[in-house]
Every structure is written in structure tokens, then in C-alpha cells.
């Protein structure tokens, strides 16, 4: 790849990291879309996206945690089954196009809902433990099928069901993404015995973007701004699943 093209790719990764990390996400779906546009091989794209996810999710979680938005009691039920189910989703060799279309439509619907939502937040409380564990397992399975960390599914669920405010949802989702991404990357490395080459410049771009975006999201933006940015993220992710 020519240096000029590689710099454009790094710029795209940086922008995606800023946007996604501001809502507590790590950006896997965006990275996959950008790398697909540059015609990189699938063998490179999946582990590269998961690697970038781990770095950005770590930064995003730390920023939202330091700002006091993380809630352990909301987080742990969702992660109990998500990790093994993410392994299962990534392991199964199923035709996933129909899943991608279905999930893409769901994400676009969620995006439109957030764009049109002008009511103030009024969370009604955390879900019951069985509901959280079951939901987390299902979201982990979807994360494995789509090759993402699952945050694009968890955050809308937390907000639509009124289980959390936007910043609490962002903090919980960032750690959820970190666990699922690490699990997915471990499975990929175990299968291929390789890590993507030339990844460090992209890691630097993602870390820079993730640091800026997560700092802004955790400390400077209000809850409504977070929800509006989340709508943009969901639009990008939904279109990626439908058309890439």
C-alpha cells in the first residue's frame, strides 16, 4: 500500500475512533467499513479491527470510569454469558448475511429513534439479573457473528429499555466491548496463529482518536449530545452491515 493511501486509512481510523469513543464504543464496525473501502483482505480486517477495539475500549472505559459513570451492578450480568457466547458466534460457520441485514435494520431503527427522541431521560432502574444475563448472552452471540465488541447492541438496549442514562450506558458498554474483543481476538489468533502486520500505525491513530473522543464524551458532552452522537454511530454501523 502506498504511503499516501495508508495515511488516508489512518486518518479514517482516527475519525472513527473519535466518534465512537465519545459514546463509549470502540469502533469495530467503523474500522471494518473503512478498511473494506480500502480493499484490505478479510484475513487482515477482522483481527485488526478487534485489536484496535481493545485499545480504544480500554481508553474509553478508563475515561468514563474516572468521570464516575461506571456501574458494576449494571455491568456484570451482561458480561457473564457474553464472552462464551461471543466465542460461539465467532466459531459457527453460518451464512451471516441474513443476520447482518436484520441487525443493520435494527440499528438504523434505533438511530432514527434517538434522532427523534426529544424527551428528557428518566431511567426506570436496572434489569433483573436473569434478564441481564440472558440479554448479555444474546448480545455476545451477535457480537461474535458480526465481528464486533457488541457495544452497538448493548448501548441502544440500555437506553431504549431505560435501564441507564447515556453516560452510564457508555461506561458499561466500553468494558463489555473490551471483554468481547479480547475474547474474539484470542479465538482468531488461536485459529490463525498470526496477528495482522503493519498494525501499529493504525493503533497509534486509534489511540489518539479514542483519547480525544472518550475525554469529550465523559466530561464535556451532556447526555442529549451523547444520544445524538450515538444515533450517528448507529447509522454508520447499520449501513456498514447492510452494504459491506
Q: What is the pLDDT of residue 1?
A: 66
Q: Is the pLDDT of residue 225 over 90?
A: no
Tally of helices (H runs) and strands (E runs) in the chain: 11, 0
List, for residues 171-182, the tens digit of each pLDDT value. 999 999 999 988
Question: Pick the residue with more confidence: 68 or 101?
Answer: 68
**Cell 448507529 -> residue:** 234
> Of the given ranges (113-117, 122-126, 185-189, 236-240), which has the lowest mean pLDDT?
113-117
Structural contact between residues 149 and 57, judged by C-beta atoms closer than 8 angstroms: yes
Structural contact between residues 220 and 89, judged by C-beta atoms closer than 8 angstroms: no
Structural contact between residues 57 and 154, judged by C-beta atoms closer than 8 angstroms: no
Four-point Cα dihedral 13, 37, 99, 15, nearest 10: 20
Give the DSSP H or E segment for 238.
helix 223-243
* Domains of the chain: total: 1
* Burial of residue 179, with CB atoms counted within 10 A of its CB: 0-12 exposed, 13-18 middle, 19 or more buried: buried
Q: What is the pLDDT of residue 141?
A: 87
Domain range for 227 is 3-243
State the average pLDDT for the chain: 86
How many Cα atoms occupy the beta-carbon half-sphere of 233 within 13 Å?
A: 29
Share above pLDDT 90 across residues of the chain, in percent, rounded to a whole number: 43
Mean pLDDT of 220-243: 81
2, 50, 56, 209, 217 from 227: Cα distances, Å: 38, 24, 19, 19, 11
Q: Is the pLDDT of residue 25 over 70?
A: yes
pLDDT band at 11 (very low <50, low <70, confident <90, very high): very high
- Percent of residues in the chain assigned helix, strand, coil, to nearest 5: 75, 0, 25
List, for residues 125-162, the tens digit of each pLDDT value. 899 999 999 999 999 888 877 778 888 889 989 998 99
16, 89, 222 from 141: Cα distances, Å: 24, 5, 31
* Burial of residue 137, with CB atoms counted within 10 A of its CB: 0-12 exposed, 13-18 middle, 19 or more buried: buried
Q: Please calculate the CA angle 28-231-176 and round it to the nearest 5 degrees.
A: 45
Q: What is the pLDDT of residue 96?
A: 61
pTM, to two decimals: 0.86
Share above pLDDT 70 across residues of the chain, in percent, rounded to a whole number: 94
Amino acid at each position: 500500500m502506498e504511503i499516501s493511501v495508508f495515511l488516508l486509512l489512518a486518518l479514517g481510523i482516527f475519525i472513527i475512533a473519535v466518534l465512537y469513543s465519545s459514546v463509549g464504543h470502540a469502533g469495530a464496525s467503523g474500522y471494518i467499513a473503512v478498511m473494506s473501502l480500502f480493499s484490505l483482505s478479510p484475513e487482515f480486517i477482522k483481527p485488526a479491527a478487534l485489536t484496535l477495539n481493545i485499545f480504544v475500549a480500554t481508553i474509553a472505559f478508563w475515561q468514563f470510569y474516572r468521570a464516575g459513570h461506571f456501574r458494576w451492578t449494571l455491568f456484570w450480568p451482561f458480561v457473564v454469558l457474553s464472552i462464551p457466547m461471543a466465542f460461539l458466534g465467532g466459531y459457527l460457520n453460518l451464512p451471516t448475511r441474513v443476520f447482518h441485514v436484520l441487525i443493520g435494520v435494527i440499528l438504523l431503527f434505533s438511530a432514527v429513534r434517538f434522532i427523534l427522541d426529544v424527551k428528557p431521560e428518566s431511567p426506570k432502574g436496572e434489569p433483573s439479573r436473569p434478564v441481564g444475563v440472558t440479554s448479555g448472552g444474546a448480545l455476545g452471540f451477535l457480537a461474535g457473528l458480526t465481528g464486533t465488541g457488541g457495544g452497538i447492541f448493548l448501548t441502544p438496549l440500555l437506553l431504549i429499555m431505560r435501564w441507564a442514562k447515556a453516560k452510564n450506558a457508555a461506561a458499561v458498554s466500553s468494558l463489555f466491548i473490551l471483554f468481547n474483543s479480547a475474547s474474539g481476538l484470542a479465538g482468531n489468533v488461536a485459529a490463525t496463529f498470526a496477528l495482522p502486520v503493519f498494525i501499529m500505525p493504525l493503533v497509534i491513530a486509534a489511540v489518539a482518536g479514542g483519547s480525544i473522543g472518550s475525554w469529550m464524551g465523559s466530561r464535556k458532552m451532556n447526555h442529549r449530545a451523547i444520544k445524538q452522537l450515538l444515533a450517528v454511530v448507529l447509522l454508520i454501523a447499520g449501513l456498514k452491515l447492510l452494504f459491506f
